[in-house]
Structure 1
Amino acid sequence: MDLDNVDVVGRHTPDPLRYAFQRKRGAHAGGSGMMSRAISDTDAIQSTLNTVHNTTDIYVNSNPSRNTRCLYIHIPFCRVRCTYCNFFQYASSRNLIEQYVEALIKEIRFKATSAWVKSGRFHAVYFGGGTPTDLSPEQIARVVTAVRDSFPLTPDCEITLEGRVNRFSDEKFSSALDAGINRFSFGVQSFDTQVRRSAKRLDDRKPVLERLQQLSSYNAAPIVIDLLYGLPYQDLSVWQRDLEDYLSCGAQGVDLYQLIEMQGLPMARMVEQGKLPMPADTPTKASMFEMGVKFMAKHHQKRLSVNHWASDNRERSLYNSLAKTSAEVMPLGAGAGGNLGGWQMMQVRDMETYIKMVDQNLYPVTFLMPTPSNQPIASIIKSGFDAGVLHAKRLNAATSTNIFSQVTPLFKAWQQNGLAILERNEQGLDYLSLTLAGQFWSVTLAQILIETVSGIHPQPKNTDFSKTNNPDVAA
C-alpha cells in the first residue's frame, strides 16, 4: 500500500467531498479480467458454453456457483439517441422489432432447457436497453410471458421493465402488469425542459410529470425513476427542482446518478462544437450529490444504497443491488452482457448475426472471458460500498484471512482524509462506514480497495473448476 499516493488515499483537504480525488474512476468498480484466457473463436465459445449450461456442479474458487441468479434481457431499440448514451444500437423499426422479438423468445426457450437453469431459481429479471417500452403491448406480453413460463423464478422475483414514459400508453402498462411485470423503471434524467431538449430526451417537463403521476396513482407496481446530475444547463437551482419534482410525481423510488463524461459520445462532440455548454465539473456534481442526500433525508425517503432511495417498502431495487455485486446474470438478447458458471460474456450486437445464431440454436455470444479470479473479494467490496458500510467479518470470510486488519492502514488514511470512519461495535465486530464524501467517491474507493486486497491476497491464476466439468477442456 502506497499511503503517500493521493490517488490511493485521497487528498488531505478540508473539503473531501469535492476535492478528495480529481474525478470518478468509472461507472462501476470491478476486478481485473483474465484477458490472456479470453475466447473469441466461435467453435470454442459454443463448446465451452454448452458445457457450462449443461452442468449443475460447476465450482468457482471452491464456492458453488448456484447462488443468487438474475436474468438480463436486452431490448436494443430507441427512437432517439440521448446525447450522453453509450448503449444505442438500433433505431426503433416495427419490422425489425418483430423479427427481434421472435428470435428473443427462441433464445429464451432454448436457454431455459439447460441443466444449469433448472438447477436453481432466479431472484430478479430486468428488461433493459435500449428502450423496452418501445415494444408493442402484445410484444411486451409475449416476451415477459415466455420468461415466466420458461425460467424457474422465486415467488418474490422482482421483474423490472425499463423505458420512457413517452408513448407508454395505458394499454402497454396494463399488458405489462398482466404479463407479470411488478416494477417499472423510467429514465427521466431531468424534468427540466431545457435540459431534456439538450440531451435529446422526448417530451417536456409537464407531460413527463403528469404521466408519472398517473402511473403512480394506479398503485399497481412500484414506479422508479432515474435522475442524472451534471448535465448541460442543469445548475444547482434546476437540480433542486428535479428533486422536488421527484416527490411531486409520486414515484416509489429514485436513483441519483452522476454524469460520467465519456469521449466519443454525441454530448462531447456537441460541447466541442459549441452547441452545448460544458457539463458540471466534479465539485459541482459533488454539491448536487450532497443536495440529493440531504433532500432525501429531509423528506424521510428510505435509503437503499448510496445512490438509491424508496418512498415505501414495495421498492427493493433488487436487481441493481444483486447484479452490481454478487449475482450470476444470464444474458438474453443482442448486445446483452452477463456472467455465469465462472465466465463473463458479451452477446453479439449485430442483429442479423444474432437472429441467425438463435435460429441455429447457437449461443449468440461473441466474447467469453474467465470471471476475474478476485471476484469473490470484489463482490463483497462492491456490495459493502454500494450499501455504504463494509463488514470486516464478510471481507475476511472471502479471503479466509484477517484481511480487514491488513488493510486497516489504508482505512485509517481514508478516515484521516474524511472519507470513512472505522467503527467497532459492542460485540467487537469491525466496520468501515463511508462518510458523505466517501459515498460520493464510493466507486473510486471500492476500486482502490479491490486492487489493494488483490495485491495483498492474490487469488489463484486459474479458475478452479471441477476436473470433470472444466470449460477449459472445451477451449
Structure 2
Amino acid sequence: MPFERGAAPRVDPEQIASNDNRYHCHYLLIIVTIMNLTPSMTGIATPDPLKFAFSAKTSAHASRGGMRPFPLDEAGWQSWWQRESEAEERALYIHIPFCRKRCSFCNFFENGANPARINRYVNALCASLAQAADTPLAQSMPFSAVYVGGGTPTDMSADELAMLAAVIRRFPLAADAEVTLEGRLNGFDDEKWQVALAGGFNRFSFGVQSFDTRVRQQAARFDDRETLLTRLGELTRDDAAVIVADLIFGLPGQDDVVWQQDIRDVMASGVHGVDLYQLIAMQGTNLERAQEKGTLDWLADGQQRAAMYAYGGAQLEAHGWERLSCSHWRRSPAEQSRYNQMAKRGAEILPFGAGAGGSILGHGLMYGRDLAPWHDALASGKRAPGMVMGRNPNARMDGLLRGALDSGVLALDRLPAPLLTHLMPLFAAWQQHGLAEIENARLQLTLAGRFWNVNMQAGLFEFLQHNPLDGSAPPSHGTAAVRHSLV
C-alpha cells in the first residue's frame, strides 16, 4: 500500500515492541523513504557505535526548539504568584553566581568572589525568597527538592549560609525533601559544614573533576589529591549527609592511567554518588585559548573519551555501584539525585537569583546574569530582567521522553499509541545502529546509547520537528532542537 510522505504506516505496537529484528529491518527500510530521517537524529551505521555513532557531543542538554518569548508585563508577573501551582512535582533552584577562581574548562564564569559583593547579593536574594515564600504559588504544594548551585555557593560565609538556609525553610518542603548545596571542597571548613547541616542541607555536591594533582593544576583547580581525599573522608565518616562528587573525563593531561586512578580514588573516597561528565569543548574558555596557543597538554579525542566513559561505568558497576542515569552512579540508596531527575522530567522549578533558570506555571524562565539590573529590579519590587518563554503544549511528554532517555530506559507502554507508532522509525534506526535495544515493550539504551544519550535526545526532538505527529508541514521558524548549557 502506498504511503504519504511524512505519515507513518499503521503498525501493531505489540509487534513493534517485540524482539523480532527481521521486522525492524523491514520496517526501517520502508519508513526511511517516507519520513525525514537524518544522521543527526539516528546516528550512523558503524562497527563501533560507542566511538563513532555521532561526530561529537557538543552540549550537556537538549530540548525541543520553537518556543517563542512570552510577553509579560509587571501586573501579569505579580498575578502569577497569586495563583496555585498546576505542577505534579516541583523544586527550587537558587543561584549563587560567584567563584574565587575560573577553571580552564569553564565558559560561564560570572563574578569574582568578593566578600562584600557576595554579602550584598545574598541579602537581596534572601529578601526576594522571603517575599516569594509567602505567596499562594509557593505555598500551594510542597517542594521535593532544593538545589543551591552556581558559581560556587560554598564561597558564602557561614553566616550567609545560615541566612539562606533559614529562608529556604519558609517554603513548604516535603518531609523528605532533598536539599543540595553545590560547591568545592577548598574553603568549605568545619564551621560551614556544621552550619549547613543545622540549616537543613542534607546533600552536598562537590566538583572534584579529577583527583590527579597535575591535571588539577592545569585545570586551575585548588588543592592536591591528598587534600581532597582527606577532606572527603572527614565529610563522609559519619554519614551525616549525602556527599556526591563530579568527575570529568577528557581533561588535559588526563590519560587512561590517570582516569583509572580517578575511578579508584572516587570509589575509595567514601562519597555516596558520582557523576561522570565528558569534557565538552566550549568557546571562550581558557582551555580553548591554550589550545590555540599550542600550550595545552595531551588531550583525549572523542573516541578516547568514549572508552574512558565505558571504563568508568564498568568499574563502578563491578564494585556494586548502581547506575541511576547515563552519567550518575551511587553506592548507597541514600543518594537519590532527585533534583537532577526532576529537572530532566520537566518538573516545575522556581528559579531565584541572577542567572537562574527554571519554569513557572508551564513557562520557561531565565534571569539575566548581570548583577546591576538584577539588584535594581529587586530594590524597586519588580521582576528581575530575563526571558519568559511561551508554554510548551508538549511539555509533559517531552519531560517523559527526556527523563527516560537520561535514565537509559523508556517504557514504550507509557507512550500514547499514535506517538509510539510515529516514533518507531527513529527507535528502529537506533536499534539498527547499536544505540538501543527494543525488547519486552522497553527501549533500552546500549552502552553506546548511554554515552550518546544527549545527542539522541536532540535527535528525537529534531525528528519531531521535521516529522510533526499530525502530519503537518514542519514549522518554518525552527528546524532543530535547541542545545544549550545550563548555568
- Indicate whether the TM-score tops 0.5: yes
Identity of aligned residues (%): 42
Among 46, 68, 74, the alignment partner of 1:46 is 74
Among 112, 126, 133, the alignment partner of 1:105 is 126
In structure 2, C-alpha distance between the alignment counterparts of 1:88 and 1:19, rounded to whole Å: 32
Q: Report if the CA contact (8 A) 1:3-1:9 is conserved.
A: no
Unaligned runs of 5+ in 1: 58-64, 425-429, 462-475
- Kindly provide the amino acid, as one letter, of the partner of residue 455 in structure 2: T
How far 1:80 sits from its partner (Å)? 0.1
How far 1:27 sits from its partner (Å)? 0.8
Among 169, 173, 188, the alignment partner of 1:153 is 173
2:16 corresponds to: none
Please, which moves more after superposition, 6-15 or 182-191?
6-15
Q: 1:412 to 1:269 in 2, by over 3 A?
A: same
Structure 1 residues 20-62: Cα deviation after superposition (integer angstroms, max 9, x where no partner): 1101242112111423x444xxxx44233222222227xxxxx
1:346 corresponds to: 366
Q: Report if the CA contact (8 A) 1:321-1:383 is conserved.
A: yes
1:233 corresponds to: 253
In structure 1, C-alpha distance between the alignment counterparts of 2:146 and 2:299, rounded to whole Å: 33
Among 33, 41, 44, the alignment partner of 1:11 is 44
In structure 2, C-alpha distance between the alignment counterparts of 1:176 and 1:251, rounded to whole Å: 18
- Kindly provide the amino acid, as one letter, of the partner of residue 452 in structure 2: W
1:198 corresponds to: 218
1:443 corresponds to: 454
**Residues 404-415 of structure 1 mapped to structure 2, 5 A cutoff:** 404-415=420-431
In structure 2, C-alpha distance between the alignment counterparts of 1:293 and 1:411, rounded to whole Å: 24
In structure 1, C-alpha distance between the alignment counterparts of 2:425 and 2:387, rounded to whole Å: 39
**Residues 309-388 of structure 1 mapped to structure 2, 5 A cutoff:** 309-388=329-408
In structure 2, C-alpha distance between the alignment counterparts of 1:171 and 1:122, rounded to whole Å: 27
Q: Report if the CA contact (8 A) 2:103-2:221 is conserved.
A: yes
1:127 corresponds to: 148
2:318 corresponds to: 298
Unaligned runs of 5+ in 2: 1-31, 474-487
- Tell me the secondary structure at the aligned position of residue 251 of structure 1: coil
2:113 corresponds to: 92
2:199 corresponds to: 179
In structure 2, C-alpha distance between the alignment counterparts of 1:412 and 1:264, rounded to whole Å: 38
How far 1:278 sits from its partner (Å)? 5.5
In structure 2, C-alpha distance between the alignment counterparts of 1:289 and 1:45, rounded to whole Å: 47
In structure 1, C-alpha distance between the alignment counterparts of 2:429 and 2:369, rounded to whole Å: 44
How far 1:325 sits from its partner (Å)? 2.1
Q: 1:350 to 1:8 in 2, by over 3 A?
A: closer
Q: 1:214 to 1:7 in 2, by over 3 A?
A: same
Q: Report if the CA contact (8 A) 2:93-2:358 is conserved.
A: yes
In structure 1, C-alpha distance between the alignment counterparts of 2:278 and 2:376, rounded to whole Å: 38
1:27 and 2:43 are equivalent in the alignment: no
Please, which moves more after superposition, 311-320 or 448-457?
448-457
Q: 1:345 to 1:460 in 2, by over 3 A?
A: farther
Q: Report if the CA contact (8 A) 2:343-2:349 is conserved.
A: yes
Q: 1:459 to 1:278 in 2, by over 3 A?
A: farther
2:7 corresponds to: none
- Kindly provide the amino acid, as one letter, of the partner of residue 331 in structure 2: S
1:457 corresponds to: 469
How far 1:251 sits from its partner (Å)? 0.5
Structure 1 residues 128-177: Cα deviation after superposition (integer angstroms, max 9, x where no partner): 001110011111011011111x2111001000000000011011100000
**Residues 248-287 of structure 1 mapped to structure 2, 5 A cutoff:** 248-277=268-297, 279-287=299-307
In structure 2, C-alpha distance between the alignment counterparts of 1:111 and 1:234, rounded to whole Å: 45
2:10 corresponds to: none
1:136 corresponds to: 157
Structure 1 residues 378-435: Cα deviation after superposition (integer angstroms, max 9, x where no partner): 2111111111011112222xxxx431122222212211111100112xxxxx211000
- Tell me the secondary structure at the aligned position of residue 418 of structure 1: coil
- Kindly provide the amino acid, as one letter, of the partner of residue 307 in structure 2: S
Q: Report if the CA contact (8 A) 2:107-2:283 is conserved.
A: no
- Tell me the secondary structure at the aligned position of residue 432 of structure 1: strand
Q: Report if the CA contact (8 A) 1:381-1:450 is conserved.
A: no
Q: 1:348 to 1:29 in 2, by over 3 A?
A: closer
Q: Report if the CA contact (8 A) 2:410-2:442 is conserved.
A: yes
Q: Report if the CA contact (8 A) 1:110-1:361 is conserved.
A: no
In structure 2, C-alpha distance between the alignment counterparts of 1:431 and 1:453, rounded to whole Å: 20
